[in-house]
Amino acid sequence: MEDTQVTPTGPEFPAGPAQAAAPTPRRSHGRIWATVIGIVLVAGCLAGVTLAGVRAIRSTTPPLAKGVSMPLRSGAPATAGEEPVAEVPRASSYPVRTANDLKRVCERWYYPKSPKVQSKGIQPVSIFTADSKDADDRQEETLFDIPNWYTAPKQKAWDPSSPAKVRLVACVDLTATGKKVATCKFDDPKDLRVPMRAATYRLTLYEVATGRKVLEKRLTGEDEECPFVVLLGADRTIYSRPADRQLYETLRKHVEK
């Protein structure tokens, strides 16, 4: 089935790519709910417009502006309901330089030249999420709903200054979907309503330097807020996501030793 793309225009939405502008940060991350193909919509829950689907830009100080970005990603998410095929990790012939290199850890590559996990101290982590049935890529997450995230130790742990310093990679994959939990109302196309369903994810934490599996856990997505901007695929459905605090509490003992 061929999807069509609708881009809002007008004084509030100038013509061009459906991407909100934001100041250039030290490193930016974005996340957009649902899939990477389909219809661009500006949305709000039935109770009103919310910015739940728009990720703030992180810098060394608390964010003053919010925006959306769509990083190109590689690596296919697991099909909902399927268990991953066991694979022997493979050593990369080159070191980590970019976030795209780290994504390969979720595909069972490892980087012998990266720093190893230590028994004490901060273990910098990067998190990559595949939250769609249709998408064949991952989005890098930046967590904000964590205590004192703007302090230096938290920045070092959860928003490392260089991918080459990352010691852990968390891969969060959609595995199953369940009952309807909300209905999200979109203003353009007018009065469009999209169901949100509960979703279950598999979180797997790997050591970058060795490919060793540190943790595997199932999570139910607790973030059920309707997004502000969404891209819909063929199923025309939005799925709940693991909340920032949920991911933080799950990974904290491995990241902040």
Residue range 86-95, pLDDT digits in tens: 579 999 999 9
pLDDT of residue 113: 97
What's the average model confidence in pLDDT over 141-145?
92
Mean per-residue pLDDT, 54-82: 34
**pLDDT tens string 97-116:** 999 999 999 999 999 999 99
Q: In this model, does residue 69 exceed pLDDT 70?
A: no
pLDDT at 129 over 60: yes
Q: What integer pLDDT is reported at residue 86 of this predicted model?
A: 57
Strand pairing report for 33-34 and 229-232: parallel
Alpha-helical segments (H) within the chain: 99-103, 152-158, 244-255
Residue 100 in 3-state DSSP? helix
Q: Which whole number is the average pLDDT over 186-213? A: 94
The pLDDT tens digits for 214-239 are 999 999 999 999 988 788 878 899 99
Strand partners for 223? 241
What's the confidence (pLDDT) of residue 55?
Answer: 31
Q: Is 126 exposed, middle or buried (0-12, 13-18, 19+ CB in 10 A)?
A: buried
Please report, for the chain, the start and end positions of each structural domain, with discontinuous segments joined by +.
33-255
- Please give the residue that has the higher pLDDT: either 133 or 135: 133
Predicted model pTM: 0.68
pLDDT over 60 at 160, yes or no: yes
148-158 confidence digits (pLDDT tens):
988 999 999 99
Helix (H) or strand (E) holding 35: none
Phi, psi (deg, nearest 5) at residue 165: -90, -10
